[in-house]
Structure 1
């Protein structure tokens, strides 16, 4: 999901979501089959394209919006929608601005939204739909049952992909302990994780559009996504060479800019990951001509260490600072581990037992 789309959802759709007073007023207008043009913003740049109308300066209420919409002109609200500033206003945006709309009200709405920093809402009298404009984005609000249906389907998909992601991590764990991880193994894990991120972002958009009607879906989504970001970031930390949380976040943001086709195509995705990585095995790898399974990678082991029952974060940080890979930690003696300030003999014994036997991977709780 692009940054502009996310900005549109958070800035525009959230203001007209079910449960807000503005949406209650718009629904009244919709039911009465009365058209309306509403601008959320009374900054100087908005007022400069307004002519005529009446100065209202009254607290917002759905009833007032409904009554004012019976007049032909636009209604100007404050940016946060708490005040009605003007009504029956004629908007005169630059007519040279390109618009794809056909109706007068919607053409004006699109031009205003692209010329000023304000959310513009157009209610169609003929089609009985609500269209939201912000900058160069537009979305026609769908009936709540339809949005709920799509959100539920996306939620089921998210759950399946999260399970696949956890399955890949479980398969990766013994390879990390044996120091037998290949570039291909890491790519599969990153691919599954990125798909979980994308589906989750799509669901967030639905939840913004649903407002209070999406409370239960929001709880389910939060449960499925529990600790996902930490586990996904651990892949970047363990295999791509990054340690700074800000740098890891930058890699995630850059990954989000790839198309879905680029993520699902293994060679294309491998080329991107190799360019992003700062660890030596990947900086010198030739993706176009080499076998991805022939490139060996060592895991730093942050995910495996964090999944050891009750181990404190300072102890994990001390191990990661002292050793370059989980294989090196496994080779260290119990006495050597205990000598670290944050470890001590008790944690050293648990670490040796956990990493020396079967890997302990935190299960995905349901």
Structure 2
């Protein structure tokens, strides 16, 4: 899978996305077949590398930006890109900062971004390309039709992966009810949820870059991702072995940080659960019950926590009588009946789905 776009770059891309005033100004520069070098930020670090030019301090407008781009120097914007601070500035970054660029404008842009915590936008006059620099990252902006095509392909891939996740999740539910769960069944669901999340992360980057043109894609992404993060968290809560230095948050973070090759290795994924004594994928394991209890409507997390703490495993919870459940603090007879009926319906539907 491609490397993920950093939060800093995503924030920068939002500034230059379609619908943003800065993007309109950049498009005007491209249409006029001009080049430009724009720094989003006018703090002391930026001013220290500025030479010449003139102070403007005027409200930003796309028209002003394109007019100022007719001059050779860089344009300095306020951090929120709502004002144009300076224009026709000569930037003098540290020449010892490494750069892989060849053109003068792009070399300057990369050096400034690598040495100062600002967003730098370079518009190529010859290649008609807009490139965004943040830190060590460079992101050339893609034409909207290409981005939309890529986003639609990603949505199709995500839908296939989500369908597969739903299948393995339903299978896990049936196995939990029948007390036949193995480590392999658990880590397969975790692997699939992480794959779905990573495809969604890549798609989210395209949506940011699409700006107002990505609203329909965003709606489809939100629909496809509904419940995935909750499913992932509940599976980990059900099976991971907590230690003094290994808690739920550590397990979730370690799972998210797995490399692509490690994610494809079920034994590596299972190691995130810190299961005691074995990495045998065919070893039997028992869920605590968080996952199925969370599927019962209007059952608060505090009650779920209390039930799991009282009984310890899903099988014991399912065998508990209404009176047993009523004895748990905060449950009450009405809620106990609801829990008992809810688990019975989940058990029936899970088994029917598995064998249908």
Is TM more than 0.5 here?
yes
Quick one: which of 265, 270, 274 aligns to 1:273? 270
| 2:160 alignment counterpart | 160
SS of the aligned residue for 1:283 comes to: coil
Please say if residues 93 and 112 of structure 1, whose CA atoms lie closer than 8 Å, have aligned partners that are also in contact: yes
Quickly say closer, same or farther: Cα 1:34–1:361, change in 2 above 3 A.
farther
Please say if residues 93 and 108 of structure 1, whose CA atoms lie closer than 8 Å, have aligned partners that are also in contact: yes
Distance 1:142 1:271 in 2: 36
Distance 1:81 1:261 in 2: 41
Deviation at 1:176, TM superposition (A): 1.0
SS of the aligned residue for 1:297 comes to: coil
Map 1:153-192 to 2 at 5 A. 153-192=153-192
Please say if residues 288 and 308 of structure 2, whose CA atoms lie closer than 8 Å, have aligned partners that are also in contact: yes
Quickly say closer, same or farther: Cα 1:26–1:358, change in 2 above 3 A.
closer
Please say if residues 30 and 128 of structure 2, whose CA atoms lie closer than 8 Å, have aligned partners that are also in contact: yes
Alignment partner of 1:343 is 2:331: yes
Deviation at 1:354, TM superposition (A): 3.8
Alignment partner of 1:120 is 2:89: no
Distance 2:223 2:95 in 1: 49
SS of the aligned residue for 2:334 comes to: helix
| 1:326 alignment counterpart | 314
Please say if residues 308 and 360 of structure 1, whose CA atoms lie closer than 8 Å, have aligned partners that are also in contact: no
Q: Please tell me the root mean square deviation across aligned C-alpha atoms, in Å.
A: 2.2
Map 1:293-312 to 2 at 5 A. 293=282, 295-312=283-300
Map 1:228-267 to 2 at 5 A. 228-241=228-241, 247-266=247-266
Quickly say closer, same or farther: Cα 1:360–1:146, change in 2 above 3 A.
farther
Map 1:220-231 to 2 at 5 A. 220-231=220-231
Map 1:1-366 to 2 at 5 A. 5-241=5-241, 247-266=247-266, 270-274=267-271, 276-278=272-274, 282-285=275-278, 287=279, 291-293=280-282, 295-356=283-344, 359=347
Deviation at 1:311, TM superposition (A): 3.6
Deviation at 1:283, TM superposition (A): 2.9
Quickly say closer, same or farther: Cα 1:87–1:360, change in 2 above 3 A.
farther
Deviation at 1:309, TM superposition (A): 3.9
Deviation at 1:316, TM superposition (A): 2.2
- Give the unaligned 5+ runs of structure 1: none
Distance 1:335 1:123 in 2: 71
Normalised by the size of structure 1, how large is the TM-score? Answer: 0.89
Distance 1:2 1:8 in 2: 17
Quickly say closer, same or farther: Cα 1:304–1:312, change in 2 above 3 A.
same
- Give the unaligned 5+ runs of structure 2: 351-356
